[in-house]
Chains A and B, each alone.
Chain A
């Protein structure tokens, strides 16, 4: 069965960096686009970034553009989110999710359990 397992969260000081990982199993990872979505405490879902199935394109939310980088290693079936210059407002549970369907018909069909990132001094 499809499984997505995030790791790498924790407490980090403002201005520092953190890298999240999402280990995928149960499907052909290299055939799917992948998303990062976050949820601040008590708030709604916020899309963070997407990477195309072949890694050819990445898009970012304005709130993280220039600070975060999404990447993938298909040999390890793993998705990454490199987060630099972290701010207090980046505090959230970060979910990875698989994208199904073509762009015009895309949807997030499987989600991980999330990993908590807390940015605090």
Chain B
């Protein structure tokens, strides 16, 4: 059972929008910045969003992040089949003195 809670799966049609939630507590999301990672099948994870809502160079603006209190959301617009992947949220947890990941969300583009 992960410290950060994500839905196991989400799906949407090409061109549509999807959101992935990440819920935590005051010891992690509530007091630390959140990042999101994309893991395409058979590959290493890649940074998608950092500092709650910042995109690294090369990440299209179809991907966005937001945070409110102890929850965060990853948004993906204009879905493409190439977006099919597992998505993870992550942040530091001060109570555990540990980095924590969400359990991951599998995105299916129907």
CB distance from A121 to the nearest CB of B (A): 28
User: How many B residues have CB within 8 A of the partner chain?
Assistant: 26
> How long is the Cα–Cα vector from A100 to B47 in the complex, in angstroms?
11
Contacting pair B51 A108 (CB below 8 A): no
On chain A, the residues within 8 Å of B32 by CB distance are: 103-106
Q: Which B residues, 1 to 53, have Cβ-Cβ distances below 8 Å to chain A? A: 2, 31-33, 35, 37, 39, 44-47, 50-51
- Binding site secondary structure of chain B: strand
> How long is the Cα–Cα vector from A76 to B2 in the complex, in angstroms?
35
Given contacts A108-B35, A109-B47, contact A45 B97 (CB under 8 A): no
> How long is the Cα–Cα vector from A21 to B44 in the complex, in angstroms?
17
- Binding site secondary structure of chain A: strand
Contacting pair B92 A106 (CB below 8 A): yes
CB distance from B69 to the nearest CB of A (A): 16
Given contacts A35-B99, A105-B33, A107-B33, contact A45 B104 (CB under 8 A): yes
On chain A, the residues within 8 Å of B35 by CB distance are: 107-108
- A27 within 8 Å of B (CB atoms): no
> How long is the Cα–Cα vector from A105 to B46 in the complex, in angstroms?
17
Among A95, A104, A113, chain B packs the most CB atoms within 10 A around the CB of A104
Contacting pair B88 A44 (CB below 8 A): yes
- A112 within 8 Å of B (CB atoms): yes
Contacting pair A45 B45 (CB below 8 A): yes
On chain B, the residues within 8 Å of A109 by CB distance are: 47, 50, 56
CB distance from A56 to the nearest CB of B (A): 14
A107 contact from B2, B44, B51, B103, Cβ within 8 A: B51
- A101 within 8 Å of B (CB atoms): yes
On chain A, the residues within 8 Å of B44 by CB distance are: 95, 111-114
Residues of B within 8 A of A (CB): 2, 31-33, 35, 37, 39, 44-47, 50-51, 56, 86, 88, 90, 92, 97-104
Which 8 pairs of residues, A with B, have the shortest CB-CB distance?
A107-B35, A107-B50, A44-B104, A47-B99, A105-B33, A111-B44, A45-B101, A109-B47
